[in-house]
């Protein structure tokens, strides 16, 4: 089952391109105001158990756990927000709304061309993946 972005929302323009952090990233294609809704993460609704099974041993994980039982696997999504990289000093945050919508919001103004990043928090990498955000005070591992 695919989850789509909420149709009533108008989001900002973003672009996917190579990132200095890791692989591809999502970048602001227009100036983004602080607290603006940037976009939604879409993907396949799965159980947490199934999601955890799918990410076992993978370096790139595109899974967001919505609750103790439900998750979104964005691995095969065409949504640009699936390329949002981690930063220890992010410019955006993730919010789970209405129990099933994963929405990104700007924490501060984001300039055109700036990579949109979030703090992943606890991850399925279990401290085994080096953080490459390059920010002062970087935690070092995800």
Write down the pLDDT at residue 31.
97
Task: Tell me which residue of 104, 95, 101, 105 sits closest to 3, measured CA to CA.
Answer: 101
Question: pLDDT tens across 10-21, in order?
Answer: 799 999 999 999
* CA distance linking residue 134 with residue 127, whole number of Å: 17
Structure-token pair, residue 87 = 């930063």
Contact at 8 Å (CB) between 41 and 104? yes
Q: What is the mean pLDDT of residues 26-49?
A: 93
Across all residues in the chain, what is the average pLDDT?
84
- Give 14-118's CATH code, choosing from 3.40.50.300, 3.60.20.10, 3.10.20.600, 2.170.270.10: 2.170.270.10
Task: Tell me which residue of 116, 120, 45 sits closest to 75, measured CA to CA.
Answer: 45
* CA distance linking residue 27 with residue 111, whole number of Å: 9
Q: What is the mean pLDDT of residues 136-142?
A: 79
């Amino acid at each position: 089952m695919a989850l789509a972005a909420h149709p009533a929302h108008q989001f900002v323009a973003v672009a996917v391109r190579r990132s200095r952090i890791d692989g591809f990233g999502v970048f602001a294609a227009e100036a983004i105001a602080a607290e603006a809704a940037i976009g939604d993460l879409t993907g396949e609704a799965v159980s947490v158990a199934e999601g955890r099974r799918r990410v076992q041993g993978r370096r790139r994980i595109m899974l967001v756990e919505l609750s103790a039982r439900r998750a979104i696997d964005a691995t095969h999504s065409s949504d640009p927000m699936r390329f949002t990289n981690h930063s220890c000093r992010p410019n955006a945050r993730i919010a789970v709304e209405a129990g099933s919508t994963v929405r990104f919001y700007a924490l501060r103004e984001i300039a055109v061309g700036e990579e949109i990043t979030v703090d992943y928090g606890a991850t399925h990498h279990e401290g085994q993946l080096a953080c490459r955000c390059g920010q002062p005070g970087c935690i070092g591992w995800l």
